Amino acid sequence: MEKKVYDLMDWGGIEGLAYSDLDAPQDVLGVHETEDGSVICAICPGAREAKLLLNGKKIDMYLEDKFGFFATFVKKKKVGVHSFEFTLNNGEVIERGDPYAFDTQINGEDEDLFNKGIHYTIYNKLGAHPMTINGVEGTYFAVWAPNAVRVSVVGEFNKWDGRVYPMKKLRASGIFELFIPGVGKGAIYKYEVKARGDNLTYLKADPYANAAEFRPHTASVVTDISKLQWTDDEWIEKRKKYDYKKEPMSIYEVHLGSWKKPVEKNGSFYNYRDLAVMLADYVKKMGYTHVELLPIMEHPLDASWGYQVTGYYAPTSRYGTPEDFAYFMNYMHEQGIGVILDWVPAHFPKDTFGLAAFDGTCLYENKDPRKGMHPHWGTLIFDYARPEVSNFLIANALFWAKVYHADGIRMDAVASMLYLDYGREAGEWVPNKDGGNENYEAIELLHHLNSVFHKQTDNALVIAEESTAWPNVTKSVDEGGLGFDLKWNMG
């Protein structure tokens, strides 16, 4: 039997696993039908023994390669739910499900829409999503990294070893994906990205993560935001009929981290739930109709006030969990107070765990430093012309309105997006195709975003913080304007 298994091995693929540069691990690992049964393969570096757990039986597996590659043969072509039991060199016994026994949750239509930049709910596909597939509980991971040699999911659940869970690449989109049985809510994870060229590996936080560790730690956290609790239907219905051009608005701008802090706990923060009660009480007494929160998206540096974002789809863990933030939003609405969120599509920080050089190339940022580096803030500028990048941003604006019921977004630093020469001297910028300083790619993004946002949200607002005299900021896109509802003046 051992020779039969040996003869059925894909040794080229096994070598790719050993060198950790295989982007199609499903071709080697998992279940593979033969003429008279199935070969089942698994990997566990540091294991000396392995058994296949199938239908209540333990079937011995053969160590085919000393780096931890095991295989066995069963006389059945349809192998159902199964897992593996590994005995490590130190005697520890662990059980893991087979990640390569599950189909992708991203279909061809998803890839096509994403490639075109019009998958407005891409956040439901990319990121980390707990789910049950074929009766097996786990988490589905998906990340866009088209130029990576290999991407793996790493975390405490596999001792941060990138050899354990290499992801499957979807070639039409450059998305890597994998369903990992047994990984659930609360698991801490990152992606280990092996770059092409230098063959170095980088640990990256998930761009679409819905939660993150409390700083200074930078890993992403598996959570489930599909079950957030809402009782603000009355507010949402009222908002649908709200005419911001006729109704009075008085907006209180606030940074949650510095507005009020616990006196007895130096360096700590109030929870979103506590802040909701205190802030609602204050703004009602003062006669405000709305609050505008300085960015609550995850960010590593307190001093940035949230304006250097690394986790665009995660409310910062400084003040609690996604459930806590949903409570904040819901409570404010129940108190009759609208919530506008500051949002930062103009730039992002260079932190190596974040979006910068995500797959070893300039993926989210423009590769030309004259267009991709911000001269004032030392940050990176999004490549607005790339469909997948514009999709990331547009879907993110929709995400906060749809998932967290935001009543509007206030777009930061719009002027820096509109002008190619913003903050630059002669010779430091690239003119557009007509020789001007207007950033056509950013303008198209704003047109696209504002058009879709107004169609898909229930009368939520889009506000521009635009510090120059750019014309027609609040004129509709159809009339030749940028399509914003309001302009936030600098004073």
Spatial contact of 140 and 125, defined as CB atoms under 8 Å apart: no
- Please name the amino acid found at residue 264: E
| Dist CA 83 CA 332 (whole Å) | 47
Spatial contact of 167 and 201, defined as CB atoms under 8 Å apart: no
**Smallest Cα–Cα separation from 405: which of 256, 278, 277, 233?**
233
Which own/partner contact pairs does 233-238 have at CB distance under 8 Å and 24+ positions apart?
235/333, 235/334, 235/336, 236/333, 236/405, 236/458
What are the tokens at 260? 């009020």
Positions marked catalytic: 412, 465
Cis ω for the linkage preceding 431 (within 30 of 0) = no
CA neighbours within 13 Å on the CB side: how many for 219? 15
Helix (H, G, I), strand (E, B), or coil: what is residue 49?
A: strand
| Dist CA 232 CA 405 (whole Å) | 9
What are the tokens at 477? 């896109």
Please, is 121 exposed, middle or buried when counting C-beta atoms within 10 Å of its C-beta (0-12, 13-18, 19+)? middle
| Dist CA 462 CA 340 (whole Å) | 9
Q: 411 forms bridges with which residues in the sheet? A: 343, 464
CA neighbours within 13 Å on the CB side: how many for 71? 26
Backbone angles phi, psi at 40, to 5 degrees: -120, 125
Give exposure, 400-427, as e/b (b: 16+ Cβ within 10 Å): bbbbbbbbbbbbbbbbbbbbbbbebeee
**Smallest Cα–Cα separation from 118: which of 451, 358, 484, 430?**
451
| Dist CA 244 CA 459 (whole Å) | 9
| Dist CA 335 CA 420 (whole Å) | 43
Spatial contact of 125 and 399, defined as CB atoms under 8 Å apart: no
